[in-house]
């Protein structure tokens, strides 16, 4: 809202960058600590919560990119 009011779209880009960086860091912590992995067969409830978090981050990033006029990719190859 503040970005639109002040005509500062870079705020959205910075927020999306920070969000993606934070999620990436959280994801990578699972490489060192099995308890922090997103998919853990022995903990289905924790896995579902982690998947919900990943989906929420995806929605926020996709929406933010859409606001900026960027069509988000669904998959990187």
Query: pLDDT of the chain along its 77 residues, tens only?
Result: 777 777 888 999 999 999 999 999 999 999 999 889 999 999 999 999 999 999 999 999 999 999 999 998 888 78
Give the pLDDT confidence score for residue 77 in this predicted structure.
81
Give the chain's largest Cα–Cα span: 48
Q: How far, in Å, CA of 11 to CA of 66, rounded?
A: 14
Give the pLDDT confidence score for residue 3 in this predicted structure.
79
Whole-prediction pTM value? 0.84
Residue 51 lies in a domain: yes
Q: 17 is in which domain, residue-wise?
A: 2-23+39-67
Q: How far, in Å, CA of 3 to CA of 8, rounded?
A: 5
Say if residues 3 and 12 touch (Cβ distance below 8 Å).
yes
Residue 6 lies in a domain: yes
Residue 29 lies in a domain: no
- What's the total number of domains in the chain? 1
């Amino acid at each position: 809202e503040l970005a639109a009011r002040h005509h500062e779209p870079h705020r959205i880009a910075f927020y999306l960058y920070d969000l993606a960086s934070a999620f990436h860091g959280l994801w990578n912590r699972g490489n060192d600590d099995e308890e922090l992995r997103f998919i853990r067969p022995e903990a289905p409830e924790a896995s579902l919560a982690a998947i919900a978090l990943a989906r929420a981050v995806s929605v926020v990033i996709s929406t933010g990119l859409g606001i900026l006029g960027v069509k988000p990719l669904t998959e990187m190859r």
